[in-house]
Structure 1
């Protein structure tokens, strides 16, 4: 089944080599691939679809990238964040008790939040990264992933593993 749609009447920040900003722009997408970006009248001349997203006063820009994340830690948000010793007194003891499924659930939550905020790619390191990779694949989030290995606290402890 072919899926196509048109984002219409957007302010488009292209980030292309010319640094174009297109007012009253349109983007045509077919089967998940961007086929055209330009002035709406030009794009609409070449492509048509019943699936139109009226962008109105919205801005469209390329996906954002975060170069340092721990998305699975989203499940710990707000826990004693006012403490100066939150890492050693709260996070590390909690991380010792983590298992694969808890990390995957946290990665699904944190990954969904990343996508909702405009991130499409993240560099992430944490524990049980195979499960984080599964979560990213399910969400369609791109990632550069690495294992965290610590000689302190956590489910993986340095030279032991």
Structure 2
């Protein structure tokens, strides 16, 4: 498509992340892997996805380093798909997306909930700052700012967003 800005040409980590994992089938495949599915036929049966689309998405997930393809049978050769450390690190994101979707439903309308594996009690996932333990859902308390690798345009975008840090004594 002429004139389209490619995600890899953008500096924003959100655009590059959405380009990598934001496709609908990708998120559903990852969700299945988190639920213990590892084989092509399991994904296909559970998701009712075409072979060509599933093949394409699995190749992309392997190429992006989120899944690893391992043989589990030699004659004929069959493969399973297992999470890499990078892939496992996406679980909180998928949990947060599911929680966001459930938050706008009544408890009776929810078809899937997150529960404590030991007690079976429903849990409420939240995103917190690891240093302070504070919830990040307060949009006034936390803002994006330019990082060390920011371009001049990115620095300009976020100029004045946060007060200058106090100088050490």
Query: TM-score range, shorter-chain basis?
Result: under 0.3
| TM-score, normalised relative to structure 1 | 0.22
Quick check: which one's helix share is greater? 2
| TM-score, normalised relative to structure 2 | 0.21
Quick check: which one's strand share is greater? 1
